């Protein structure tokens, strides 16, 4: 039976964040193979961001004196038939992460864990940005007349993380 406590959910989320990092890496490599350097760079950055999210959770658990187990991650999808598919997959993944973060926040509140609840607030805010940026990117890809338009859009616009957030939780080992 799966541990439904806040700590149990957070432990599972560490694995989910590492899995998201690997999936974004696979997407980046696929875009690189399609000679789409801006899309590739965007997803390489997303991969690092998800890795950092996992390590923020690791650091939080270490700071709270909790045992941390780094889980294996399942295989990721590496092949796509169109440029829309990996971005749609990324949006779906971000929506699932949002639901997971909301569940962790709710569980922390249910357990009267004010520190856990406060920790999850940053991630809730982050998920608004993540879903919005993937939604925008999917819309741009679906509307583009050609892929050069998408590459040009990414070259001139900021999509997603606009820079360092001073309220970001500390990352175990340091953020990349």
Q: What is the pTM of this model?
A: 0.89
pLDDT at 107: 97
pLDDT at 153: 87
pLDDT at 169: 75
pLDDT at 157: 77
**Residue ranges, the chain, pLDDT below 70:** 1, 160-166, 170-176
**Do the beta carbons of residue 129 and residue 161 sit within 8 Å?**
yes
């Amino acid at each position: 039976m799966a541990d439904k406590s806040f700590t149990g959910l957070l432990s599972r989320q560490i694995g989910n964040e590492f899995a998201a990092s690997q999936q974004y890496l696979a997407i980046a490599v696929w875009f690189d193979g399609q000679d789409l350097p801006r899309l590739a760079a965007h997803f390489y950055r997303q991969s690092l961001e998800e890795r950092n999210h996992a390590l923020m959770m690791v650091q939080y658990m270490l700071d709270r004196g909790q045992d941390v187990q780094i889980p294996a991650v399942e295989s990721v999808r590496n092949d796509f038939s169109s440029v829309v598919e990996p971005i749609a997959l990324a949006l779906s993944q971000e929506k699932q992460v949002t639901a997971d973060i909301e569940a962790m926040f709710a569980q922390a509140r249910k357990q009267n864990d004010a520190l856990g609840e406060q920790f999850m607030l940053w991630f809730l805010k982050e998920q608004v940005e993540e879903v919005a940026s993937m939604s925008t990117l999917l819309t741009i890809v679906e509307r583009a007349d050609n892929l050069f338009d998408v590459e040009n859009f990414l070259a001139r616009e900021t999509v997603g993380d606009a820079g360092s957030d001073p309220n970001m939780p500390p990352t175990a080992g340091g953020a990349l």
